[in-house]
Amino acid sequence: MTMLKVANCPKCGKVFQMNLRSLCQGCQRELDSEFDQCSAYLRDNRKASTEALSEATGVPVQRIYTLIQDNRLPVSFYPGLTYPCKSCGSPIRQQKMCTPCRVRIISDVKDLENREARDRGAGFQIRERFSRG
């Protein structure tokens, strides 16, 4: 039996076959054209901020965040681009969370590990926490 991996497109909700990009084809195409608009603008405005880019292209900032995090708009090349920390929303340029939030999470994880050391079998709690992001 072949397992067909399907999911709901996170953008439009349509059921589709999972691919590497985790969007349905229609939305993927839309994202590609948005990407084209963004990179065209950035060609002349390499230092534009995410907000300025969104305003100039009409592409919603949320989508620009996705492009940045997919590394299609690499922050190393576009110094003005940022996306929000997953936890507190402050603008960041790498990882999923800002440094203070990461430090907090790491100490949370250490806490959990300590608890796990006391009580073997609690390991699933740590994994659960990670997968929830």
* Residues forming the site for Zn ion (CB under 5 A): 9, 11-12, 14, 24, 27, 85, 87-88, 98, 101
In the chain, the amino acid numbered 100 is P
Return the structure tokens found at 106: 């790491």
Q: Which is nearer to Zn ion, 72 or 96 (CB)?
A: 96
Q: How far apart are CA 103 and CA 91, in angstroms?
A: 16
Are the CB atoms for 34 and 53 separated by under 8 Å? no
User: Please, what is the minimum distance in Å from the beta carbon of residue 70 to Zn ion?
Assistant: 16
Q: How far apart are CA 116 and CA 56, in angstroms?
A: 51
CA distances from 122 to 107, 109, 113, 125, 128 (A): 17, 12, 9, 6, 10
Q: Which is nearer to Zn ion, 14 or 115 (CB)?
A: 14
User: Please, what is the minimum distance in Å from the beta carbon of residue 94 to Zn ion?
Assistant: 12
User: Please, what is the minimum distance in Å from the beta carbon of residue 46 to Zn ion?
Assistant: 26
Q: Which is nearer to Zn ion, 72 or 104 (CB)?
A: 104
Q: Which is nearer to Zn ion, 79 or 100 (CB)?
A: 100
User: Please, what is the minimum distance in Å from the beta carbon of residue 6 to Zn ion?
Assistant: 13
